[in-house]
Structure 1
């Protein structure tokens, strides 16, 4: 049996996957392990680039995941053919640091469910890093009013835990990792931080892409709250918060937006706010 299986979902990643594959090829780990690239129907030359690494990475397998759209489906499909007792997830557009596989195995030897550390400066321009939330601090576990969670770009889990929770919810196209983390913790399993499992995270490169990303976060956050309230989550979204945020956003736009960095930061917060509102309408969610 493999010690660990690394699952990498990808879709039209031809501009960035070279970096991740090179980093995975350089991992030094003495026990048997494997990489499973799960292509979610790429229409660019992502697969051609991956094929160039087949000889360099003999422990890599590539499978097609075209029956359903979404990284949740791709990750579940990858795990279904994985041979490792431990499972690690990373993304095609990031870069694992040296020693990442070793750190994941060490952490999972001691814990059932872990997340690593995210670093933002290597793959992003400085204005982008300064604009985005989570630019400093822990970078791994993200605290929430309900339960903590971590991003699926740097997540590790024992196979038995993944199977016990039923994998990722394939109906959730955005924030399936948050849902996954919450459901695992509801089984009584703690999310632990493994700081030595470091990845270099890549943000979306344009303000338009950042706006879309954070709008999606806000929009799908409503669906997530609605789902988990049926599982015991208290109602946390309030109308007075919407009013307060609207006032604060208006004042911030007038007083603080002065350059590309401050505009991007404001637009991301506005996008999340707008997505939240649209999500309430779409899912008929009534804040308290």
Structure 2
């Protein structure tokens, strides 16, 4: 199977270089291309892509997706310009492992939608890597006690399936778009496969404030998707448990003064606030 790799781009230099280097080290023996879908409309990026030393090895191309802001639009434009029938997505600031594309393409022969795990150790300071928990690489992530998902930075889909479900929902410009896409594909009757070998090194945000804003956005968007698909979510009694953990890790206590503990607290607190905010905004219990 041949493959097209789509990267949604916005103000991603010089970090994009790390991802392109990782793609150039893939052990995949087949034909593939890499499409950088430019949601910024950057001439600097276009010149960077046109002159990149690995452009022939990667089949590297630039496409303009600056007409509508958002990752979903960039992925749609990139996908619709692809020449191959299997589409895989990764992000501009991460780094796919060497066997990533081989594993994704192999799984794409058996499933309509595939995805793999993330790891935080390769690209992050150990303190920052401890802020946000990741699931067991052997298991798919299941949100709201509904259906499994994979992240937009590590997702593969057959082009025919992408077309059948009308691509990424651009009313979800960033947060929640991958959850919505995965659930829409599966509820349309297509199959999902988790691929533990398709590992991606995931880069965390390093500021406490930006980490807080990110997790709040995630939780609010997840509440919207849960409402849209009628996902059962967690029971109401999770709220006091979550709140108790937030209080127990609060940086006012001496055992939570370290930057490692403050980061964990920010992530847990932001998740709780986002769930409450999303529950109110979308009139759904998403706790």
Q: 1:76 to 1:114 in 2, by over 3 A?
A: same
Number of residue equivalences: 281
How much has 1:117 moved relative to structure 2? 2.9
CA distance in 1, matches of 2:110, 2:236: 43
Aligned to 1:245: 242
Aligned to 1:276: 275
Aligned to 2:197: 196
Aligned to 1:78: 78
1:18 and 1:49 in contact (8 A); partners too: no
Q: 1:239 to 1:119 in 2, by over 3 A?
A: closer
| Structure 1 unpaired stretches of 5+ | none
2:275 and 2:286 in contact (8 A); partners too: no
Q: 1:242 to 1:274 in 2, by over 3 A?
A: same
1:5 and 1:82 in contact (8 A); partners too: yes
Aligned to 1:125: 125
CA distance in 2, matches of 1:29, 1:103: 9
CA distance in 1, matches of 2:284, 2:107: 39
Correspondence 1:142-153 to 2 at 5 A? 142-144=141-143, 145-153=145-153
Aligned to 1:262: 261
Aligned to 2:55: 57
How much has 1:212 moved relative to structure 2? 1.1
Q: 1:61 to 1:217 in 2, by over 3 A?
A: same
TM-score normalised according to structure 2 size: 0.89
2:49 and 2:55 in contact (8 A); partners too: no
TM-score normalised according to structure 1 size: 0.88
CA distance in 2, matches of 1:156, 1:140: 17
CA distance in 2, matches of 1:188, 1:275: 30
CA distance in 2, matches of 1:45, 1:205: 26
Aligned to 1:178: 179
Q: 1:87 to 1:51 in 2, by over 3 A?
A: same
Aligned to 2:164: 164
Q: 1:143 to 1:284 in 2, by over 3 A?
A: closer
2:8 and 2:71 in contact (8 A); partners too: yes
CA distance in 1, matches of 2:29, 2:246: 52
Aligned to 1:32: 31
| Structure 2 unpaired stretches of 5+ | none
Query: Are 1:8 and 2:19 matched, yes or no?
Result: no
1:140 and 1:150 in contact (8 A); partners too: no
- Shifted more, 164-173 versus 102-111: the winner is 102-111
Alignment RMSD: 2.3
Q: 1:103 to 1:248 in 2, by over 3 A?
A: closer
